[in-house]
A and B are shown apart, each in its own frame.
Chain A
């Protein structure tokens, strides 16, 4: 059932929140052992909230759009009083002392949290195999990965274990698993959704977003979580009256970036996208465009991200919270706590970031990468002066098998089409077919409109 269908049913008293929440909890009991989508289920809280909302409806109140909607929350988004581990051992017992901004908004809107979902540790990975709590499986084929890092959230929605879910996207962590699991994923414009209460990985790129069954649901949820937060100075006022949220002109042109259709793209994916483009060409002008510097996006990403990771991870030292492993002195306590608390990929990125930021290497790596990012941004700016939307694949391949990719570089390559979007700070929407739609800053509305149109064909 979608959010919209559930809301209609609830309004017309065709279902109760308790009935719906119970059916999701039953499904979780039945399937989570196999999928490992959830790390923890909040059964008692969910049922308690369901009862409360049902009583309010029985008392004559009209339910809001998100009343009783059962959601799954990625384990790097804080819910006060609940463990938030980022799927890491170093935070295995860390209890959040405040609500993330998005959680605060969703609580007020009456949504229900079913539990916290599995992910790659601290969102570093593309398969959810980097979790300290075992991998998540793809509900469409359990021999395959669900993608990552928001693999638990995507698997929960695809497997019918949640109506929708929150995730985070730094280089494709919402869109790649959405494509792998066949659901809708939205990475909003950088700044459209507050990052307060999101455990930081690479702060200049991190963005909270969502996974849903339909584009319409994605739009509903996005409108519920966006907005300016006083506690996140990089969040932007995007109130309903702001013109950017309205379509001020008809969409006419769709850009197809040739760099997204080159070597390395799976033929089956290419053919399915070509078929959609052909259909779109009946209504829109299709224009081939070039984003020539995006071929360097992955290189930029693997300099900037480790650099930011090395500083963001410095706070996890086993001193004030989290897991502490005692050493002989303070320094060895730090090293042991981090050595035992962090998985290999996290430590690898911390070390790489320390290296690229070292005196003598800064200009060659970090500074150069920041310049190339500016060139990538210019490419997109120029493209959006010509076209309304850019369309391409989300991933170069279909989901790979668990354990198939063990060297870091081949894993990194699965994000080759999603990373440019984060570097440019623009929004992108992944459809269940794996198509990725990209628009200019704060033009999510365009993504929803075209997304709904394509969705109707299936």
Chain B
């Protein structure tokens, strides 16, 4: 496809990987730069649309409001807590185990 007019630098891609907390292999990274160029070139077509005076779409559905639950102790029964604890990749007793943060 002939949309390959958007160049994104290697440094930019490395920076994005850090921001997004993802890894890519060497070969994947090579292809990534090309795919990014293609996709960004393609979506760049939107520059042609006249959007003057148009508002951003900010709600998927008109007329719905935010709903908040009361700030009180959740009364979840039925073993939910133990289900969640069982899902921990690593634990000690009932504590979630992670690498040291500092």
- B contact face: mostly helix, strand, loop, or mixed: loop
Asked, given contacts A233-B65, A234-B64, whether A336 binds B100 with beta carbons under 8 Å apart, the answer is: no
Q: CB of B45 within 8 A of chain A?
A: yes
How far apart are the CA atoms of A330 and B19 in the complex, in Å? 14
A7 to B: closest C-beta gap in Å: 32
Q: CB of B54 within 8 A of chain A?
A: yes
Q: Which of B22, B66, B99 has the most CB of A within 10 A?
A: B22
Residue of B nearest to A189 (CB): B61
| Contact indicator B60/A97 (Cβ below 8 Å) | no
Q: Which of B49, B80, B100 has the most CB of A within 10 A?
A: B49
Q: Which of B24-81 contact A (CB under 8 A)?
A: 24, 28, 32, 35-36, 38-40, 42-43, 45-47, 49, 51, 54-58, 60-61, 64-67, 80
B27 to A: closest C-beta gap in Å: 10
A-B pair number, CB within 8 angstroms:
158
How far apart are the CA atoms of A372 and B56 in the complex, in Å? 8
Residue of B nearest to A374 (CB): B57
Query: How many chain A residues touch the partner (CB < 8 A)?
Result: 67
Q: Give the chain A neighbours of B42 by CB distance below 8 A.
A: 298-299, 302, 409
Stretch at the interface among A9-17, A133-141, A339-347: A339-347
Q: CB of A226 within 8 A of chain B?
A: no
A381 to B: closest C-beta gap in Å: 11
A-B contact pairs, 6 of them (CB 8 A): A97-B84, A205-B60, A342-B22, A365-B46, A407-B35, A408-B35
Question: Residues of A at under 8 Å CB distance from B?
Answer: 94-95, 97-98, 190-191, 203-205, 230, 233-234, 236, 293, 296, 298-300, 302-303, 310, 317-324, 326-327, 329-331, 333-336, 338-340, 342, 344, 347-348, 350-352, 354-355, 364-365, 367-375, 377, 407-410, 425
Question: Residues of B at under 8 Å CB distance from A?
Answer: 1, 3, 8, 13, 16-17, 19-24, 28, 32, 35-36, 38-40, 42-43, 45-47, 49, 51, 54-58, 60-61, 64-67, 80, 83-84, 86-90, 96, 98-101
